[in-house]
Structures are given as structure tokens and as C-alpha cells.
Amino acid sequence: MHEEIIHTDNTPKEKQNYVMLKLGRTPAYGWPAFKQVAKRAVSGELLVGLWITLKEMVKTLFMGGKHTTMYPFEKMPIAPRYRAIHNMLRLLESGHYRCIGCGLCEKICISNCIAMETRYDENQRKEVSEYTINFGRCIYCGYCAEVCPELAIVHGGRYETASEQRASFSLFDDMLTPIDMLKQQQEFAGFGSVTPNADAAIKKTPLAY
Amino acid sequence: MDALVVGTIIKIVLVLLIVSALAGFGTYIERKVLAFMQRRLGPAHVGPFGLLQIAADGIKLFTKEDIIPQHANKFIFSLAPVITAATAFIALSAVPLFPTFVIPESLPLIGGAIVPSIIADVNIGVLFVLGMMAAGLYGPLLAGMAQANKWGILGSARTAVQFLSYEVVTGLSVLAPIMVVGSLSLLDFNNAQTGGVGSWLIWQQPIAFILFLIAGFAETNRTPFDLLEHEAEIISGYVTEYSGLRWGMFFIGEYANMFTISILAAVIFCGGYGDIGFVPGWLALLLKVTFFFFLMLWVRASWPHIRPDQLMWLCWKVLMPLAVINIVITGIVVMI
Amino acid sequence: MGDMMNDNKITLKIDGKTCQAQEGEYILNVARANGIFIPAICYLTRCSPTLACRICLVEADGKRVYSCNTKAKDGMEVTVSNQEILEERRAIMEVYDVNHPLQCGVCDQSGSCELQNYTLELGVDSQSYTIADTARETANWSSVLHYDPALCIVCERCVTVCKDMMGDNALGTTPRGGSELNKELKDSMPKDAYAMWNKLQKSVIAPSNDTGSTNCSDCGECIAVCPTGALVSRDFEYTSNAWELKRTPATCAHCSSGCQIYYETKPTSISDRSEKIYRVTNEWNYVSLCGAGRFGYDFENRTAVKNEEAFGNAIEAFKAAKAIRFNSVITNEEALMLQTLKEELGVKLINPDAKAFQEFLNSYSAASGKTLWNGDYKEMMKNSDFIISVGSALRHDNPNVRYVFNNIQKMNKGAGLYFHPVGDSLIAGLGKNVACIEHKVNREEAVLYWILDRFANKDKLPAEISEYLASFHTKTAKTISETVMEDVKETVVDDESGESKEVVKKIPKTIQKEIEVDSSALLEAFDAPADFEDLVEKFLAKKESFALVVGEDMYFHPQADNLAKLVALIENTTEFKVSIVPPKTNSLGVALICDLDDDASGYTIGYNEAGDFRLSALGDGDLDMPALNQQEGTLTNMHKKVVPTNAALSYGGYELNDIMNALLLGKRLTIDWTKELPSKKGFQAVEFDSLPNRYTNDGVEHRGYMLESQKTKITVSMPDKMTANDMSGDIAYRCNPQRQFNEFTAKAHQIFEPFALYVSPAKAETLGKKAAFDINGKEFVLDVVIDEKMSGEIVKLPDFKHSSEIYAFFGKNRFKPITLRKV
């Protein structure tokens, strides 16, 4: 039954440690089937499962094996690549908002939730006079942040978006870095960036038997 | 008034209240136990250790909008949950719960009332309880068929198949102990096992006990036989269109049945409310029932559920022949 | 003409594909018509090749040629690309990208930019050339034009279209003041790219009159043709990306040209999600818009709601009505509904502009035996080389007729005669072979008789007419000086041989000669200049295809009936292709569909006009109606075509069809009337939804269907003799300013030509800043606006507002004596 693993181009070239279990064919009828049922019923495989869950319960109750985070009171740190409510960033030097109103985010948005108004301003520049994201429709795919040529729109970490309205809107000023917070403005670390304490945060989960 | 009548009424009230409340408490325990087995906490925020979660859920159930689907048969739709709850409680009336005792005279009004161990000591107790539980089949069956929902119909179909099939196993598995004891009264079962742990029927009838337990799981719609409302396959089966209090009645019925099965298992096979050493009878029964209840949760946390065809296969090709063989052997032994 | 063209079919191969073409067609156009892509930036289909971009370089029969100015020859083998040509093209695109700002994000053209497209198409992923940039300031050239020279690639399409199509000649190139190219590049870089760059580095676009403002008709066609974001409309600038706009193909609602346009819509704002028209665009290779079409788009009835009470009143009004007064800015379907009302309820239909046109057409049909004229503007534009315009203020009445007139001068080496009482320096400047003849008012008969006299096939001409025409001629003897060459014999002695030889020498000699001069009194009748006959003779040299355009002055004329007969006679006896220009948007449709009445008394319903109960698409009536950008329907345009228009914006109120339904005469939808249009008048029974509205790459117009000219009975034969209807004193001419046609254009926010008296600069001096006059006892005080291109004493009084009063004042004549008071 054991076959050699055939690599395709995009898989790593080194040998992988997969093990094929020799399960054989499940008998469906007759004596072999009866034999298997009898064997499994008597061998106590079912009890193994019971034993494991009981053990886990004891560990959880008395040996501090709990994994629960008490959510509203206690929050997990989120990864830098997390995609929640957007932030509109400012230029660090001048404090002017970065958005140039090119409309690429509006175009690329697959849930069609971004709308913007632009106009010819007094300085002969394109001014974003209003900008909104309909968070009732936004699916937080991150395309807008990815397409933005000015790093003006990025995803922030504000993920608690429950609201009384099904569709809640955010205007430009809601998302824009407050001018007095300019010093604290975080640069977007980029797609695929790793949580700083990623290694430490890894814990063995019940799936790791 | 006759002290026995007063006592019986007291007991009826107690059973109704306690079992109803236990249904709620049962969910709490279930959630807690499952959580612990999965390294979680379970309900934790409402009250100490999340105990008031039961109250919160109750309030939610009572205040939920009562929805009857447009094309449903309204009468049967309303009747079905009542059948489930009622049959479950009626079944309990022939089940002994603890030794008979007299309420101290010092208590006003009900002082001196004799609270019987069983509400109605009918001499066909086992038959009555099993019959009542079998009648409970009509709850899910009618509910599924009345709600004009295909998932409901599928739930109904599974109800009919599963309950009717396992009714056979339950009946046959209990037949052997009945033959041994020679009575259908549950009090007689209890009295037949008063000689300590060694006198429990479980030692004489281990196969009957296991068959009864398995069938009991199936009759109460518990994992691994929870096919009637298996949400991964048929949404919620026969309760798909139910909400609020009506859904709550199914829930209470299911938990009452779980207690009934637990008590039956304890009374028929594990010595009933007989004292175990220094442990008084009522406590012993409580511990046994608690264990069987826990076993149901434990199994749910550990085992996956099975397919309908495997369920049928297990019933008719494994359990039923085993039960018949068990009866034959028991009969031969009793004859000898 | 048509037969001749078929004979000239040639066959050539482009990239191995066999293509059929007309002789004389450019390779580029042949390729486009056959679905073969040749990159080209500066070329405009109906204009002369500019040769600015040089990117359309191809190899024809082994030689490098520019496909935009090389005519296809029979059996030619064309290769669109080879290695060398690709290198040239890539170098050209690299040069165009030198110093071009990279902020595509804020450019209005981004997404529909030809510079972007060709840069990508030719795979420019690196830059080989650099040069110091020059500071170039943005400028506003007019109330609508914004120019950013930094984005300009000086393809000169704007210059070309303005000259060859619009005739405004408002743009030209000016020195850029850029750095000199490094001479070494001449050898190192591809030849054409170097030549293009050398030229590019020297020039930039500017208004041709050196004032910094274009002072043109603000048609905005330069914006349309600009391949980059260099020329944009000031109103549209930075308000939307091209890809956000939804394009609705429609038909312009303002004049009878019925140009195909796209309304481009998008939600108004973030808080108001109702659609708004942001701009109008056109297929600029095949159709040219005027300022009204391009900028007069926001005339929708925005606030209309279903007001049931008003609707109830309207039904009552219709039941009580004796007459319906309307104008021709309606669809054929609405016209048919009104006609149905007339038939069912017996109301009278009053429409002054269509009525005059209808009467003219009826007289024409009675004399010619068919309902429609034989001219076609597309054909004229392509083939005609001699055009005469009579009775039309060419600059104002119908922009597309003017474009045709101009295009003939520029593209067909044509000549033109413009007969009109009001002098116009723009028309005079359209070409060196254009003559403007300012005749006295109401002398159009003389002009038409002259055309008959000069051009008619004398065999076809009826005897009476020949006699009548002959009566104008007088032959006078005249002595003129002429230089002739005289042969003089001389005896010359050869120095070497000593022989004497006789040599003939030519010596110029002036002699007096007596010739017979034929002078026609007709010329005096329309105030022809002294050298008119010679001028015409010169103009007619090598001319083959003739066109006559007849305008609104002829329908509003005391002698309109006779003029129509003359037009019919010209069409029958000369080679002229005749075109009769409908005065308003759908005058032709209304004239064909409706049975119109003269003025009637009694309870009147006004549809966009004055009345006792007013239906109005302008939003100011008793019941709202949809404007033409809010409803579906068809229009009949001057090209004799029935073209569909679509709703670009939603409309919340009632339509005429709702009223018809309430009167139990309606159909389910307005467009269900389309197939009911009268086939007896040349309409076809086709569903609205099956009418196409687009152009294909070969320039073929797939729009609606052609009206069929119907045969009629000839009931009158001869035109009458001329009658003089001279006027004295101040004369007013009913004529709208450019870009204004009706109340709808007046409502548009980018069209601001006021309701005023338009006068020549000379007349303005006598009138001052304001002038007053009375119409039916009502005093009008209007600003006096100087129209610098006008000359003469006649003042122009618009009718785009107060139309009932103005039409009533002028009556059956476009000219009227007026008493002007200085204010």
C-alpha cells in the first residue's frame, strides 16, 4: 500500500515524514465483518476515548489546563496582519492626510462598500471631500489597503464592530489618525508580517495528540 | 385527609418541580462537563460559577417569540411538545425515587404526611414506564410532521425508525431481569436487590444491562444516537421550526427521559435505593443516577455519532439477537 | 456618385488579411474597418492627418510609411509590425513618457488614457531617455476648458479637430521653451522617435489668438479628443474616475442633429445616492458635439414626484382642453400620443416651429413628389466639395451643419457659399474658398433662382422658368484690356559663321478688346459683390459634388411656399443634393406625425409651453413630465433617421402615457408607441428595444432606422415669381446664441449664454448696454451682448426663453422690424 510520494513543483524538495497507515479494506459482509465487530467490541477501543476525555477533565479541573480567555475582560493581542476597521493615515511630516483620492480602493472593493467624493480644490489639487466605508457590507478582505499607492488606507485593530444598525458607516474623519495622535501613528507592517511574540504564543492545543 | 394522599401530592409536586428544574440544571451540568473535557470553562459569567445561566436561559426561553409556521398544522404543532413533556413525567410516576418516609409532625400543614417512594405503585411498573416512554415517540413524530418543513419530516422519519427499533431492544433486555425477579413492579426489583452490592442484578444480567443502557441512549436521543435532530445533517430535525417555550418542553422532556432511564438503570440493575454500607439509600440512588447521567455526557464528549444505517444494523443485527439469546439463556437458567 | 464608388473598390493585404477598401482610403482606416489594430495617437478619423505621433508607422510594399496619411493601393501588402517598427514605436512611447507626471492616481483620464494604454501595449518597462523638464503652468482657457500642459503630449488632436471639424480654429501650438535635444541622440535613437521628440520639445498647445483664452464656441470637442488628461472640463475635473461612471447611450436632445451621446452617471454624493450625470461623452471619431450637447446635460426634472392631486387636475384639464400647445423638444412617441389625443378628443395641436416646417415640407412634397429631401450629411461630408447654405444662421441654428460646411472646406478642398442677411466672420473664415453674401432680408428667392440659373440642367428646366430666368439677363458690351503674346520675326547674324538667321521672338502686347458681358439682375437682388461671378467660377474649378443646405429662415418666410417649390425644382434639375434642416430637436418627427393647427382659442394645455394648465419637464408646471434625459423614446433627426434615446436618470413622476392611460387611450409603456409610428409617413413598425445605438470601428452608424421617403402626388408645378418683402429700420432676427437651443439648455448649469440681444460690435455702439422693446404691450428690457463674429445692423433676439411671446412677435417670419429703445 505504501507508495512513494510524488512531488509537484511547488512542494518542498526534501523528504517528508508522512506515514501511511496500513488499514486494509473494511469487511462489509459475513464472517469477516462479524469478526471485526466482535473484536472491536471486546478490545475496548471505545473505552480509550472515554479515558482520554476523563483525563482531560481532571487536568482541566485540578491541574490548570484551561485554555479559556475571559474575552471582554481579557483580550488576546492581535497580529499585525489582522484586518479590522480601517485606519486612514497621515503624512508624518506635514500631518496632511495621505489619501490622494485616486479611487483605486473604491474600484477594487469587491463588496462595493467604499464611496468617495473628490473635487478640485483651491490649491489646484484633487481633494477628498468625503469618504465612507459601509461596514455593513465590508468583508475586510484587505484589497483596499493592498491597492493603495500612498499607504493611506490600512487595516487597524478595532474589531469590535457590533452596532445597533445592520449597516454602520464610517466617515473619513472617523478613520483618520487624530492630529494629536500623529506621533503614535503606527506604520503598517505589511502583508504577511508576523506577530512579534509568535513563537511564545504557540501553545499545545487539544488537537495536538 | 389521608396522609398517603397528601404525601403523594407532595411527591408529585416535588417530582414535577425538581425534574423540571433538573432539566435546566442538567443543561448546566452538561455544558460544564463538556467544557471541562474540552479544556474550557463553560458558563462562567452569570452568577457564581455560571450557575444562574439556567435562570438566564429560562428567561430567554420564556420571553422568546412564539412562532408557528404559516403552513403548519397549528393544533398538532402545539400538541406535540406537550406529548413529549407529559409522557416523560407520567413515566416518572411509576418510578421509585427514594425510600418511603414520613414528614415530621412538627411541620405545619403537611406534617405527618407519608411520602411514598413511588407515586403510583402499579404492579406492572416496568411495563408502564416503558410503555409511557414509547408513547413519547408521538411527540417528535407529530412535531416533525406538523411543521411543514422537510427537515422536520426527515426528523420524524428518523424518530419512527429509531424509537420503534430500539423499543424492541429495551423490552427484550428488560425481559431477562423480569424473569429473574418474577415481577413487573419496580418496588419488587428494588426489594430483590437489598442484599448489598453483591445482590445487584447487574452481576446476573450484565448483557441485559449493557443492552438496556445502549437502548436507553437511543431512546433518549443521546450521542452517539442523536440522529433525530442531528444539526450537521438535518438542521434540527423535528425541532427545526420550534422556538421558545415549545422548544423548551421538548428539552425538558428529553432531560426527564434521561433521568428516567438513569433511575431505571439504577433500580433494575444496580440495587435501587437500597443502602450501601453506611450510605443511606436515597443518597445511594442519587449517586447512581448522577453517574448514569454523567455517563451520557461523558459519552457525548468522547464518541462521534453513527450513521442511520449503522444504527439500524446495530439494532437488528447485533443488539436484538443478543437480547434474544440472553433471554433464552436466562430462561434455561431460571427453569433449572 | 454611389455607382462610382463601387467601381473604386480595391483589395489589399494587411498582415496577410485580405481587406476590401475604397480607393483613396488611408491604410489606418482600412485596418480599423477590418479589425486590425495599428497604434495611432494623433489621427482623427474625419480630420486631416497631423503626423505628430508617428506611431502608426507600418511597412507597405517594403517601404516605411505612416498609415494615417498613406492611401491604400490595389494589391498593396502592409505589415503592421516588424522588429524595427516595434523599436521605433517603443522609443516613441518612451519619449512620450519622459517627464510625464506619474500621478495617474489623481488624473481624470486615468483608466481611459491612451498614453497609459499604449505604454502598456508597447511594453515600456524602462526609460532610455531623459531631458530637463520645463515648468509649465496649468491654465483655464475658457469657462469650460482646463489645460494642464504637463500632461500634454502635443499630439495636436485638439488643434486638428478644432480646425478641421468645428471650424473655430481656436487652438494652435506655441513654443514651449524646452531644452534642446542632445544632438548625439539623432544617431543613437530611432529616427522617427527622434523627429517626434524634437518637435515635441519645441511646442505646446495654446489658444491661437494669443490672448490666453480661446474665445470659441465652447463645444468641448478638444476635451473629448484629448488622449491624456491635459484638457479636461473645469466642471468635471477631479470629480470622478472614468471607470466609476455608468455610460448610457442616448441621443442629444437639443437640436435636430440628434447626435449620439453617452450620458455618464454616478451617484450624486455619499449622502445622496440618486444618480447624477457627470459628463457627456461621444464617439469623437465619428460624431462631433456642440457645447450644448456636451455641457447642457443637467436639465432633468429632478424633484418630480407622483402628485396624485395634480394628476387628477391634469386629467380634468385634458377632458376640458380645446388645444394643446407644445414644442418640438419631445419624442416621436409623445408626438404620436398628442396626435391620438387630437383624433380621439378633438383637441387642436399647436406647435409654431413644427407647423412652419410642416407647411414647408408639404409645399416641397407637392412640388417634388416625395416627402423627404435627397441630401445626406454623412455623404456630403465625405464627398461634397461645393456647398451652399441658404436661410440658415450656420453658426447658431445647427452646429453639425456648420461642421459639415467646415469639414468640406478642410478635407475635400471644397468651396462654400453662405447666403445670409447677417454677416458672420467665423463662417467667412472657414476656408479661403468661402464667400459670405450678406443679402437683404427675404431675398432667399433670388438666391434660389440664381442657383437654378447657374446650375440647372437647362433641358430639365420648364420653359416658363427658363424664360423667367432669361429675363434677368442683360448682355452689355464691355471693353477690356488683355495682354497677348505677339510673334515678332527678327533677323539675327551669327557671330561665328556670319550667317544671318531668322528668329521668332514672343513679345507681350496689350490690346483693347471688346467682349460681351452677361450680367444678371438676380445678383443685384441678393446684393452679390461685384466679382461674384468670377469668384463662383474660381470656386467651381474641379468641383464634382454639390450640396445645398436650406435652413429655418425659409420656413418662417412670407414666401415660404414658393421657396419650397424652388427647392424642389433645384433638387430635380440640378446636381445639388439638398438638405432641409429641421428647426428644432424633433420638428421633423412632429411634422410627420402630428396634424398641426394654427393658433386656437379656448382652454389650452401647455406642454413645456404657456397654457392654462401646464405640463412641464422643467419642473415649473402644474404637472411634472420627464425631461428627455429621463425617458426612453425615439427622435427623428435631420439625417432623416429615427434614433433611440435612453433614460440616464430615474424619474419619479407621471409620464404622458400615464395621462393617456387615465383617458383609456394609453399603452403599457411609452415605448410601446414606437412600433405604432405612422408607416405612411416613412416610419417602420419596429420595437423600441430592437433599435441599435452605436458606431462600429469602420465608422458605420448603427442607430435606429432610416425614414423612407414616400412618393406623393405632384399637385403644383411652377414656382411663382419673386416678390420683394423688404424691411426698414431696426430688424430683429430670431436666433439663439451658440449653445442655447431651448429652455432645457438654459437650465443647464454650464451653459450661461444669457437671454439678451446679440448684436455686432458696430451696432452695440449705437445701442449701449441695455435695450428695451415691446412685444404685445409687454416690455422687454434686455442686455446688449456683443457678438464679435457678427456684422451688420440686424440684432439677434433669442427664442430659447419666452418662446410663445417671441414666436407670436415674429409670426411667420424670422425677421421682424423692431423698435429698440436705449435704456
pTM above 0.95, yes or no: no
Alpha carbons A12 and B21: distance in angstroms, whole number: 59
C792 with C732: CB under 8 angstroms?
no
User: Do β-strands C623-624 and C613-616 pair in parallel, antiparallel, or remain unpaired?
Assistant: parallel
Instruction: Give the domain-ending residue among C185, C206, C227.
Output: C206
Alpha carbons C332 and C587: distance in angstroms, whole number: 10
pLDDT band at C675 (very low <50, low <70, confident <90, very high): very high
B237 with B162: CB under 8 angstroms?
no
Which set of grid coordinates corresponds to residue A147?
491597492
In a domain, C456, yes or no: yes
Q: Is residue B126 over pLDDT 80?
A: yes
User: Letter for the amino acid at C336?
Assistant: L
Q: Which helix (H) or strand (E) holds C275?
A: strand C275-281
Residue range B108-117: mean pLDDT, rounded: 71
Would the CB atoms of C237 and A132 count as touching at under 8 Å? no
In a domain, C312, yes or no: no
Alpha carbons C59 and C77: distance in angstroms, whole number: 8
User: Do β-strands C323-326 and C604-607 pair in parallel, antiparallel, or remain unpaired?
Assistant: parallel
User: Letter for the amino acid at C400?
Assistant: N
Would the CB atoms of A206 and B39 count as touching at under 8 Å? yes
**Given this model, what pLDDT does residue B88 score?**
86
Alpha carbons C78 and C192: distance in angstroms, whole number: 19
C243 touches chain A (CB under 8 A): yes
Would the CB atoms of C234 and A120 count as touching at under 8 Å? yes
- Residue C103 with chain A: CB contacts under 8 Å: 100
Residue range B304-320: mean pLDDT, rounded: 86
Which pLDDT tens digit goes with each residue over C297-314? Answer: 999 998 889 999 999 999
In a domain, C119, yes or no: yes
- The residue length of chain A stands at 209
Which set of grid coordinates corresponds to residue A56?
482531560
Would the CB atoms of A118 and C267 count as touching at under 8 Å? no
DSSP C454-499: HHS-TTTS-HHHHHHHHTTEEEEEEEEEEEEEEEEEEEEE-TTT--
Q: Is residue A9 over pLDDT 70?
A: no
Instruction: Give the domain-ending residue among C206, C225, C256.
Output: C206
What's the CATH number where C569 sits? 3.40.228.10
Nearest chain A residue to B37 by CA: give it: A57
**Given this model, what pLDDT does residue A164 score?**
81
- Residue A39 with chain B: CB contacts under 8 Å: none
Alpha carbons C108 and C148: distance in angstroms, whole number: 11
**pLDDT, chain C, mean:** 91
B307 touches chain A (CB under 8 A): no
Would the CB atoms of C110 and A102 count as touching at under 8 Å? yes
Number of other CB atoms surrounding residue C542 within 10 Å: 8
Distance from CA of C254 to the nearest CA of A (A): 28
ipTM: 0.79
Alpha carbons B271 and C24: distance in angstroms, whole number: 114
**Given this model, what pLDDT does residue C584 score?**
93
Alpha carbons C427 and C432: distance in angstroms, whole number: 11
Size of interface A-C (CB pairs under 8 A): 47
Which residue is it, cell 432645457? C744
Q: List, in order of start, the domains of chain A with CATH numbers.
A: 86-184 (3.30.70.3270)
Best residue in B31, B37, B213 to probe A by mutation, most A CBs within 10 Å? B37
- Residue A124 with chain C: CB contacts under 8 Å: 138
For B:3-42, CB contacts with A below 8 A are 33, 35-41
Q: Considering only CA atoms, which of B164, B135, B163, B148 is closest in space to residue B226? A: B163
Distance from CA of C574 to the nearest CA of A (A): 56
B303 touches chain A (CB under 8 A): yes
Better-predicted residue by pLDDT, B18 or C266: C266
**Given this model, what pLDDT does residue B7 score?**
73
Instruction: Give the domain-ending residue among C206, C237, C253.
Output: C206
**Given this model, what pLDDT does residue C556 score?**
94
Strands of the sheet containing C145-147, edge to edge, are C139-140, C145-147, C231-233
Residue range C516-523: mean pLDDT, rounded: 82
Nearest chain C residue to A101 by CA: give it: C106
Indicate the number of domains in chain C: 3
Domain of C186, in residue numbers: 2-206
Which pLDDT tens digit goes with each residue over C485-494? Answer: 777 777 777 6
Angle between helices B3-37 and B281-302 (to 10 degrees): 30
B298 touches chain A (CB under 8 A): yes
- The residue length of chain C stands at 823
Please, which chains are in contact with A (at least 3 CB pairs closer than 8 A)?
Answer: B, C
Number of other CB atoms surrounding residue B85 within 10 Å: 24
Cross-chain CB nearest to B39 (options A37, A49, A56): A56
Which set of grid coordinates corresponds to residue A171?
466617515
Residue range C577-584: mean pLDDT, rounded: 94
**Given this model, what pLDDT does residue C704 score?**
95
Q: Considering only CA atoms, which of C622, C589, C626, C582 is closest in space to residue C603? A: C622
- The residue length of chain B stands at 336
CB neighbour burial string for A171-206, b if at least 16 within 10 angstroms, e if fewer: ebeebbbeeeeeeeeeebeeeeeeeeeeeeeeeeee
C615 with C321: CB under 8 angstroms?
no
Sign of CA dihedral B202, B208, B214, B218: negative
Residue range C80-94: mean pLDDT, rounded: 94
Distance from CA of B53 to the nearest CA of A (A): 16
Cross-chain CB nearest to A117 (options C138, C243, C270): C270
Residue range C527-549: mean pLDDT, rounded: 91
Residues 6 or more apart whose CB falls under 8 angstroms from that of B122 comprise: B94, B128, B185
In a domain, C688, yes or no: no
Which pLDDT tens digit goes with each residue over B64-82? Answer: 888 888 888 889 999 999 9
**Given this model, what pLDDT does residue C644 score?**
96
Which pLDDT tens digit goes with each residue over A131-156? Answer: 999 988 899 998 999 899 888 999 88
**pLDDT, chain B, mean:** 84
C238 touches chain A (CB under 8 A): yes
Which pLDDT tens digit goes with each residue over B286-304? Answer: 888 889 999 999 998 888 8
pLDDT band at C29 (very low <50, low <70, confident <90, very high): very high
Nearest chain A residue to C244 by CA: give it: A107
- Residue A28 with chain B: CB contacts under 8 Å: none
Would the CB atoms of A118 and C110 count as touching at under 8 Å? no
Return the SS3 of A127. Answer: strand
In a domain, C666, yes or no: no
In a domain, C321, yes or no: no
Q: Considering only CA atoms, which of B95, A107, B157, B232 is closest in space to residue C240? A: A107
Residue range C452-476: mean pLDDT, rounded: 89
Distance from CA of B148 to the nearest CA of A (A): 30
- Residue A67 with chain B: CB contacts under 8 Å: 39-40
Conformational region of residue C24, where left means phi above 0, alpha means psi within -120 to 50, and beta covers everything else: left
Would the CB atoms of B37 and A49 count as touching at under 8 Å? no
**Given this model, what pLDDT does residue C749 score?**
93
Distance from CA of A52 to the nearest CA of B (A): 8
For chain B, percent of residues with pLDDT exceeding 70: 98
Would the CB atoms of B36 and A206 count as touching at under 8 Å? no
Would the CB atoms of A66 and B41 count as touching at under 8 Å? yes
**Given this model, what pLDDT does residue C4 score?**
45
For chain C, percent of residues with pLDDT exceeding 90: 74
- Judged on CB neighbours under 10 Å (0-12, 13-18, 19+), A130 is middle
Residues 6 or more apart whose CB falls under 8 angstroms from that of B267 comprise: B95, B96, B186, B189, B190, B273, B285
In a domain, C667, yes or no: no
C712 with C366: CB under 8 angstroms?
yes
DSSP B40-69: ---S-SSSGGGTTHHHHHHHHHHHS-----
Residue range C617-634: mean pLDDT, rounded: 93
Which pLDDT tens digit goes with each residue over C202-226? Answer: 999 999 988 889 989 999 999 999 9
Q: Is residue B189 over pLDDT 60?
A: yes
DSSP C760-820: -HHHHHHH-SEEEEEETTEEEEEEEEE-TTEESS-EEE--SSSHHHHHHHHTT-SEEE---
Nearest chain B residue to A207 by CA: give it: B38
Residue range C731-759: mean pLDDT, rounded: 93
Which set of grid coordinates corresponds to residue B142?
407529530
Alpha carbons C762 and C794: distance in angstroms, whole number: 11
In a domain, C178, yes or no: yes
Nearest chain B residue to A59 by CA: give it: B39
Return the SS3 of C643. Answer: strand
Number of other CB atoms surrounding residue C644 within 10 Å: 25
Q: Is residue C16 over pLDDT 70?
A: yes
Alpha carbons C110 and C97: distance in angstroms, whole number: 14
Q: Which helix (H) or strand (E) holds C697?
A: none
Better-predicted residue by pLDDT, C492 or C42: C42
Please, which chains are in contact with B (at least 3 CB pairs closer than 8 A)?
Answer: A
Start-to-end Cα distance in chain C: 57
**Given this model, what pLDDT does residue A68 score?**
79
What's the CATH number where C177 sits? 3.10.20.740
Which set of grid coordinates corresponds to residue C194?
527622434
SS (H, E, C) C281-304: ECCCCCCCCCHHHHHCCCCCCCCC
Residue range C5-30: mean pLDDT, rounded: 87
Distance from CA of A67 to the nearest CA of C (A): 45
Q: Is residue C669 over pLDDT 60?
A: yes
Alpha carbons C155 and C200: distance in angstroms, whole number: 8
Best residue in C241, C271, C272 to probe A by mutation, most A CBs within 10 Å? C241
**Given this model, what pLDDT does residue A14 score?**
58
C103 touches chain A (CB under 8 A): yes
- Residue A125 with chain C: CB contacts under 8 Å: 106
Would the CB atoms of C243 and A115 count as touching at under 8 Å? no
Residues 6 or more apart whose CB falls under 8 angstroms from that of C112 comprise: C242, C243
C89 with C149: CB under 8 angstroms?
no
- Residue A57 with chain B: CB contacts under 8 Å: 33, 36-37
pLDDT band at B281 (very low <50, low <70, confident <90, very high): confident
**pLDDT, chain A, mean:** 81
Least confident of A107-111, A185-189, B87-91, C366-370: A185-189
Alpha carbons A171 and A130: distance in angstroms, whole number: 7
Alpha carbons C597 and C41: distance in angstroms, whole number: 53
> By 3-state DSSP, what share of chain C in percent is helix, strand and coil, each rounded to 5?
30, 25, 45
Return the SS3 of C532. Answer: helix
Which pLDDT tens digit goes with each residue over C166-178? Answer: 999 999 999 988 8
- Residue C240 with chain A: CB contacts under 8 Å: 118
